[in-house]
Amino acid sequence: MVKINISYNKGKVLQALRYHFISRREIKLMMILVNVFALLAAVLFGFKLISPLPFLMSSVLWISMMVAFWIWLPLLIYRKSKTFQDSFTASFTDQHFFIETAAGGQKSWAWREFSSYFETPGFLHLYFDNKSFFLVPKDAFPDQESLDAARSVLRDQVKKG
């Protein structure tokens, strides 16, 4: 069993939420399409085949999308979620993932309740479904052996996303 104390750092959580949004297939596809549209508009504008309006529109669309996924959505999720303002203890066992708050509240999930997980530089992202997930900060682990033990449990029990 691996037991850790979790408290969240706002900057790191915002970065983890950015990873979440950028990793979604539909968002990746949308970003690729908007980038292709913006590049095509820039090339066509450069060759004077289109007026400045389509180029301006593609630039505004690109900037709006970046602001939405990089700043606005992570801040919105961070503010709405009370989890990121709380501190609690989490435990990884072979069968379950447990959390316990300082006030005595408890919750546990069997590993089969998680649909997938993936790892980013600062967090383990445990997904219940495409939109519901739990962030476990890697810096909450006291040492590398504890982090490796948690990774081992995740590899054995949850599908990698």
- DSSP letter assigned to residue 87: E
At 15, the pLDDT band (50, 70, 90 cuts) reads: very high
3-state secondary structure 2-65: EEEEEECCHHHHHHHHHHHHHHCHHHHHHHHHHHHHHHHHHHHHHCCCCCHHHHHHHHHHHHHH
Give the model's pLDDT for residue 114: 96
Integer Cα distance of 140 and 12 in angstroms: 12
pTM of the predicted protein model: 0.84
pLDDT digits (tens, 9 = 90+) for 20-61: 998 889 988 988 888 888 888 889 999 999 888 878 888 898
CATH class of 2-8+82-157: mainly beta
Residue among 86, 85, 83, 89 nearest 4 (CA) = 89
pLDDT digits (tens, 9 = 90+) for 91-142: 999 999 999 988 888 999 999 999 999 999 999 999 999 889 999 999 999 9
